[in-house]
Amino acid sequence: MNCAEFQKSLPEIIDGAGTAEQDAHGQTCPVCSDLVRDLRYIAEQAKLLMPMHDPSPRVWAGIQTSLAQEGLVRPSVGRFQPTVIPGGNRFGTYARWGAVAALAIVAFWLIGTRTPGAGPEQPSTTASDTAGSGAGAMDANDQKLLAVVSQQAPERAEVYKRSMRDVNSYIADARKSLDQDPSDDEAREHLLQAYDQKAMLYDMATSGPRE
Amino acid sequence: MTQAKKLVAPGLSEAEAIQRAQRGDAEAFEGLYGLHKRRVYSLCLRMTGNTAEAEDLTQEAFLQLYRKIATFRGESAFSTWLHRLAVNVVLMHLRKKGLPEVSLEETLEPQQEDGPKKDIGARDNVLAGSIDRVNLERAIESLPPGYRIIFVLHDIEGYEHNEIAEMMGCSIGNSKSQLHKARMKLRDLLKLSKAEKAARH
Amino acid sequence: MGRMNNALRTAAFMFLIAGVAFAADNRKELKYNLAAGGSLTIVNENGPVSVKGGPGRQVTVVATTHSDKVEVDGNQYGNRVDVRTRALQKASGNDGRVDYEITVPQDTSITVRAAGGPITVEKMRGDVMLEGDSAQVEVRDVANAHVHVRTLAGTITLRSVENGHIEVSSVNGDIRLSNVNGQKLSVNTTKGNIVYDGAVAQNGDYDFITNSGNIDVTLPASASVYLSARSVSGSVENGFPLQQTQPSVAPSSARTLVGTSNTAGSAVNLRSFSGKIRVKKQ
């Protein structure tokens, strides 16, 4: 058997289905044995490849939007409340961090649901002392969220307020950079990251242990 | 670690989450998404080689999962079922875009470009021990789409040739042929990468 | 007679004080049995939570309250234990505080929400999910587990975490990782600094991202990494022997570093928007 004949049957040989004659050639011919070794090595290394990347938070946000549009799901109150009932669980918390848009919408809706009367007469955190101006400025949703935190856990209002400002500054910085150069992938990555942080903050505010 | 992977969340097994999702529990579905998103997305990314397409296809795969999960009867492992579903979503998408750039109807005859003849009588440095994950991922990304799909399905995802042939609508022989060519092409790419690396030092 | 009255008064006072102290510091011990794969959830608004893994199948929760304005409620549902602090009336400061010391079977999955903290977890082999607003969080000697931690302002410290799937996030808190490795390590913060010191797992995927914080990464010379660092408006300093793959990216090269070491087995991505990134050799 020569090299050309041997290499014609390579797929079978790689799979370990070679004939005795082919095996004999493989053992004596360094070129063919290197080839077999390389191809087997590639196949072995490929089997070791792990899934490496998570999809962007946009994917989950898109799924939620599509399901909602199809009327398949609606946000439920229970998903953001600590659960004590049998079988209940606060799972999915971490998977949710990136679902920025959905989180904001649901948290906003939740605030209105869980705190009747919260809004105009916000207890200790008022629009004037939270909204501010500049990069860390807060929108109406942010202020409502802080009002709820102030009402339910006043001692923690300050840390939420500071965090909200910092996250909003992060969003503003990244957005400004992206506006200057829309092709800047780094800025885009930072913007998504900043929104993830904001989603985390909303989630923590609405899933806390206040009872 | 193995046990951790089977849990959708502390105290909630994947089987329980599937049952809940089948009853329309959105939270359970979210938990399943969290558990499987990485592998499904990686599959889509490796098969398409394009981030935006991979994201769209991941979304479509999970939407189909949500619509079809009530039909899952547990004859196969859930992950197997979901991955088959995801593969079909990707293949459907590629068909809509047009056939893969490499024909599936090529024969086993070695070709000038991809066949093994070039190795006859020429001994190169062997690859063994020199491949790292990053280089291999890059080389796979560089494969022509037709080769890449078969390679990903067989060598990474672990599908058998008969399953690939069924999914792709080709013969088992063609699947084997494409896989062999894909490995040969990868070998060339990895050797090139190795040579470039050596030249830099 | 007067002297006796005084003695009685003193005794009565001491008794009263002791009684008040007894009423104020109430120690409650709860015990449960969990089978393999069980889970424990602790929710405590105010006060420290310490969880330690140990042999055996018993969960022991020692909770100390400091007033009668709060109570500790523990329940078991199948293979899941849920313990939480309930406020009976408005309580703040020390009155609302409950201190938890918990031992669990090592393979238990634990979830702790303790807003004020601190939270300490050690010697665990099950999943660890921790959350605290301003809580300082420390995790040490954990293996083969998912470790997810998030805070708003508290410093997060992970030490000796082996083969973990790690996701750590804080808005303002610093994040310190020492001898932490696993296939997945995702660290995110807005203003906090990130400090990483230790080896890198083979085939790992490490992402460190901060807005204005600094990132300090110290690796052993034997680390096998594909390292990519970029600061949009800060700086990048490298003291690690990398084979740089893009040395000629002139305009932003001071803020960008891409290179490999050894067989580049793991991907390490460092991103700071405006902070400094420093890569050093151990």
CATH code (residue B18): 1.10.1740.10
The shortest C-alpha distance from C53 to chain A (Å) reads 22
Which of B127, B140, B148, B151 to mutate to probe the A interface, most A CBs <10 Å?
A: B127
**Chain C contact present for B201, CB below 8 A:** yes
Q: Is the pLDDT of residue A187 over 90?
A: no
Confidence of residue C1 (pLDDT cuts 50, 70, 90): very low
The encoded tokens of residue B138 equal 């890059």
A163/C190 touch (CB, cutoff 8 Å), yes or no: yes
Lowest mean pLDDT among A170-184, C6-20, C39-53, C213-227: C6-20
Confidence of residue B167 (pLDDT cuts 50, 70, 90): confident
B11/C263 touch (CB, cutoff 8 Å), yes or no: no
Q: Is residue B11 part of a domain?
A: yes
Contact C189, C171 (CB under 8 A): yes
Confidence of residue A35 (pLDDT cuts 50, 70, 90): confident
B24/B67 same-domain check? yes
Which of B83, B119, B174 to mutate to probe the A interface, most A CBs <10 Å?
A: B119
Residue C157 is predicted with a pLDDT of: 96
The shortest C-alpha distance from C54 to chain A (Å) reads 24
Higher pLDDT, C60 or A32: C60
Q: Is the pLDDT of residue A210 over 80?
A: no
Higher pLDDT, A112 or C197: C197
Residues of B numbered 41-70 whose beta carbons fall under 8 angstroms of chain A's beta carbons: which are they? 41-43, 45, 54-55, 58-59, 62-63, 66-67
Confidence of residue A106 (pLDDT cuts 50, 70, 90): very low
The shortest C-alpha distance from C148 to chain B (Å) reads 11
Lowest mean pLDDT among C5-19, C120-134, C205-219: C5-19
Residues of B numbered 101-160 whose beta carbons fall under 8 angstroms of chain C's beta carbons: which are they? 130, 132-135
Which of A84, A91, A198 to mutate to probe the C interface, most C CBs <10 Å?
A: A84
Q: Which residues from chain B sit within 8 angstroms of residue C79, using beta carbons?
A: 11
- Judged on CB neighbours under 10 Å (0-12, 13-18, 19+), B103 is exposed
Higher pLDDT, B181 or C21: B181
| Rounded CA separation B21/B42 (Å) | 23
Mean pLDDT within B156-174: 86
Question: CB within 8 A of A44, min separation 6: which ones?
Answer: none
B30/A96 touch (CB, cutoff 8 Å), yes or no: yes
pLDDT in tens, B98-150: 655 344 444 333 344 444 444 444 445 666 666 777 788 888 888 888 889 99
C129/B10 touch (CB, cutoff 8 Å), yes or no: yes
Count contacts between A and B (CB, < 8 Å). 158
In this structure, the number of other CB atoms found within 10 A of the CB of residue A49 comes to: 18
Lowest mean pLDDT among A93-107, A126-140, C43-57: A93-107
B63/B146 same-domain check? no
B194/B129 same-domain check? yes
Q: Is the pLDDT of residue A103 over 50?
A: no
Confidence of residue C18 (pLDDT cuts 50, 70, 90): very low
Q: Which residues from chain A sit within 8 angstroms of residue C232, using beta carbons?
A: 177, 184, 186-187, 190
Q: Which residues from chain C sit within 8 angstroms of residue A89, using beta carbons?
A: 80
Residue B100 is predicted with a pLDDT of: 52
Residue C57 is predicted with a pLDDT of: 93
| Rounded CA separation A8/A13 (Å) | 10
Residue C48 is predicted with a pLDDT of: 95
The encoded tokens of residue A70 equal 């199809």
A52/C111 touch (CB, cutoff 8 Å), yes or no: no
Q: Is residue B23 part of a domain?
A: yes
Q: Is the pLDDT of residue C244 over 80?
A: no
pLDDT in tens, C148-176: 899 999 899 999 999 888 889 999 999 99
**Chain A contact present for B180, CB below 8 A:** yes
Which of C128, C131, C171 to mutate to probe the A interface, most A CBs <10 Å?
A: C171
Question: CB within 8 A of B13, min separation 6: which ones?
Answer: B6, B7
Residue C176 is predicted with a pLDDT of: 96
Instruction: State percent of chain A over pLDDT 70.
Output: 64
Residue C3 is predicted with a pLDDT of: 54
Q: Choose the final residue of a domain: B69, B97, B125.
A: B97
Confidence of residue A133 (pLDDT cuts 50, 70, 90): low
Q: Is the pLDDT of residue A75 over 80?
A: no
The shortest C-alpha distance from C43 to chain A (Å) reads 6
> Which residue does chain A place closest to C173, by CA atoms?
A163
Q: Which domain holds residue B155?
A: 116-200
A11/B179 touch (CB, cutoff 8 Å), yes or no: yes
B10/C107 touch (CB, cutoff 8 Å), yes or no: no
Q: Which of C10-19, C144-153, C246-255 ranks highest by mean pLDDT?
A: C144-153
Question: CB within 8 A of A196, min separation 6: which ones?
Answer: A57, A97, A98, A100, C169, C188
A93/C129 touch (CB, cutoff 8 Å), yes or no: yes
B90/B22 same-domain check? yes
Residue B130 is predicted with a pLDDT of: 67
Alpha-carbon torsion, ordered B87, B88, B93, B97, to 10 deg: 100
> Which residue does chain C place closest to A87, by CA atoms?
C77
Q: Choose the final residue of a domain: B97, B124, B152.
A: B97
pLDDT in tens, B53-96: 899 999 999 998 988 887 887 767 888 889 999 999 998 888 77
**Chain A contact present for B38, CB below 8 A:** yes
Q: Is residue B79 part of a domain?
A: yes
From the list C217, C221, C220, the residue with the least C-alpha distance to C257 is C217
Q: Are strands C39-44 and C276-281 parallel, antiparallel or unpaired?
A: unpaired
Higher pLDDT, C34 or C17: C34
**Chain A contact present for B177, CB below 8 A:** yes
Domain range annotation of chain A: 3-48, 57-206
Strand partners, C233: none
From the list C229, C218, C225, the residue with the least C-alpha distance to C273 is C229
The encoded tokens of residue B113 equal 């470009």
Exposure class string for C207-229: b at 16+ Cβ within 10 A, else e:
bbbbbbbbbbbbbeeebbbbbbb
Domain CATH for B129: 1.10.10.10
State the total domains in chain B: 2
> Which residue does chain A place closest to B177, by CA atoms?
A11
Instruction: State percent of chain B over pLDDT 90.
Output: 14
A84/C230 touch (CB, cutoff 8 Å), yes or no: no
Residue B77 is predicted with a pLDDT of: 84
Q: Is the pLDDT of residue C9 over 70?
A: no
Q: Is the pLDDT of residue C254 over 70?
A: no
Residue A95 is predicted with a pLDDT of: 33
Mean pLDDT within A65-93: 40
Helix, strand, coil shares of chain A, percent, nearest 5, are: 65, 0, 35
Average pLDDT over chain C reads 85
Lowest mean pLDDT among B52-66, B114-128, C105-119, C210-224: B114-128
Q: Is residue B20 part of a domain?
A: yes
Mean pLDDT within A155-169: 89
Q: Choose the final residue of a domain: B68, B97, B126.
A: B97
The shortest C-alpha distance from B130 to chain A (Å) reads 10
Q: Which residues from chain B sit within 8 angstroms of residue A49, using beta carbons?
A: 133, 136-137, 156
Q: Which residues from chain B sit within 8 angstroms of residue A60, using beta carbons?
A: 30, 33, 37
| Rounded CA separation A144/B117 (Å) | 71
Higher pLDDT, B174 or A121: B174
Residue B59 is predicted with a pLDDT of: 93
In this structure, the number of other CB atoms found within 10 A of the CB of residue A176 comes to: 12
Which of B6, B20, B33, B64 to mutate to probe the A interface, most A CBs <10 Å?
A: B33
Cα B196 from chain centroid (whole Å)? 27
Residue C80 is predicted with a pLDDT of: 84
Q: Is the pLDDT of residue C13 over 70?
A: no
Contact B122, B186 (CB under 8 A): no
B136/B193 same-domain check? yes
Lowest mean pLDDT among A108-122, B90-104, C16-30, C181-195: A108-122
Closest CB to C264: pick one of B4, B11, B134: B134
